[in-house]
């Protein structure tokens, strides 16, 4: 429970997915022409980390943005887009 409300996993997941889509649309899509296939971590403020190795980008994003404060996607690959809550 948080702030007197019960935690709802389905609502939390939906909010995270909506935020991930918004972040990718605003900050990831413009990268598609020159960076398709690379991985991108996008902070809640729109800062980005780009690279070719997913594990490296994940570690850098955790170190830079903090846990649960970024979206991770593969540029130009819709199926790879995912919200990470580590």
CA distance linking residue 46 with residue 59, whole number of Å? 18
How far is C-alpha 55 from the chain's CA centre?
14
* 0.85 exceeded by pTM: no
Digit-coded pLDDT (tens) for 18-58? 898 899 999 999 999 999 999 999 999 999 999 999 999 99
Question: Residue 47 has what DSSP assignment?
Answer: -
Report the mean per-residue pLDDT for the chain: 87
């Amino acid at each position: 429970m948080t702030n007197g409300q019960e935690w709802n996993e389905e609502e939390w997941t939906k909010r995270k997915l909506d935020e991930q889509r918004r972040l990718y649309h605003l900050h990831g899509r413009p990268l598609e022409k020159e960076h398709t296939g690379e991985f991108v971590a996008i902070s809640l403020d729109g800062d980005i980390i780009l690279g070719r190795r997913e594990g490296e980008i994940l570690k850098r994003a955790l170190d830079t943005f903090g846990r649960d404060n970024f979206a991770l996607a593969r540029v130009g690959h819709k199926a790879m887009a995912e919200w990470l809550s580590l």
